[in-house]
Structure 1
Amino acid sequence: MLLTGLAVCATCGGAMTLRTGTSKSGKVHRYYSCSTAARVGKTGCKGRSIPMDRLDGLVTTHLADRLFGPNRLAGILTSLAQKRAAGDDEVRNRAETLQSEIARAEDKLKRLYRMVEDGVTDMDDLLRDRLAALKSERERAKAALERIKAQSAPQLTLEPDQLERFGTFMREKITVGETSFRRAYLRAVVEAVEVDDHVIRIHGSKTSLEQAVVAGEQIGKGVRGFIRKWRARRDSNS
């Protein structure tokens, strides 16, 4: 039941919920089954089921052996940093353009004010309109520049020892302990587990993974806070 709320059917996208069955020997078996097929029948989805223990084991083993290895974590987060850097170049270019627009507007305003002070021209309605337009252009550019600055996130530098500590921590937390806490830690880095006929796809957010590594530095300062703060979000896929 680790993946309750995470497992989805690849055919219809519906949640896969826990169902039970009893064998002739009286043993109770638990399965993740497509809720759409169970609710409306084969017209809604052809349906699929997979033993609970098998799916839980496949996913946790894959994450422990692959995702939470230091080299794999480093590779994923490096690709995120490269993508972010490309976006940062665009932001930097836009900021430089806005700064140039502000400088040009201020230069024009200074020249117009100087002309009035030197008596070269009078402050008539046409000049007032021109001054107002230049001020408006300058303020718009300043406001846009401030928004860019506010939205620009500082670059995170994750050291190899951070990744190793986080990987070790997560491998333990998703494989040992109470089911509710193991599920919560999985949800910190996994958005969905898509079950197909011959393949299982694990979807997650690279940004949430990065944030989880940073939050992992708070290990020992409040496990519940770590779980709450770093629930996965749909901003990019690993």
Structure 2
Amino acid sequence: MTIRLVIADDQAMVRAGLRLIVETAGGIEVVAEAADGEQAVATARRLRPDVMLMDISMPRLDGLGAARRLLDQPHPPKIIMLTTFDTDENLHAALRIGVSGFLLKVSPPEQLVEAVRVAAEGAALIDPAVTVRVIGSFAGRPEPVREPELGLTPREYEVLRLLARGLSNPEIAAQLYIGEATVRTHVGRVLQKLGLRDRIQAVVFGYESGIVQAGRR
């Protein structure tokens, strides 16, 4: 099934470049473009796309405000935020409101395509640089929450710790010497037990709970 995508960015050349990348990959149709946040919200409400690529810095209404309006409504599109700067303070707020991805504009084209496809499937993807430099700036508690307090098994706790560091399922499988199918099962149970919507919320939870701390492996 073709993924219906809206691109929201105030720079026409950036929109053209993003359109070329995703449409060349196949299976993704850009149904509209928007030049500011207000236009992005109106376009999304009218066309109901599956996914939106949303620049965080736009006139009239920024990407964060546009995403908040859309995600507050029933059946919102999946939103992937784009930014030039991986230290933007708005990243924290964007992750908390439930976006489905966060990418730097310098990310490789294949990562952009993957993010769109992952979001359309209901999962989430964040740029590794964002995980390390921005998510890692969340203040962890001095004493991390332990697995019994969370209702997790030791293995689920370990999966959560690796998940919060931004590792993919294959990377977690390699770290723990288990199969990817087993990892998917553990990830699903962790998200369910903790009431988390997706991997991005798991990253935020990991740092805010002290399970993972900036600068520590």
After TM superposition, the score normalised by the length of structure 2 is 0.20
Rg comparison, structure with higher value = 1
- Which structure would you say has the larger RCO, counting Cα contacts within 8 Å and 6 or more residues apart? 1
Q: Which has the higher helix share?
A: 1
After TM superposition, the score normalised by the length of structure 1 is 0.19
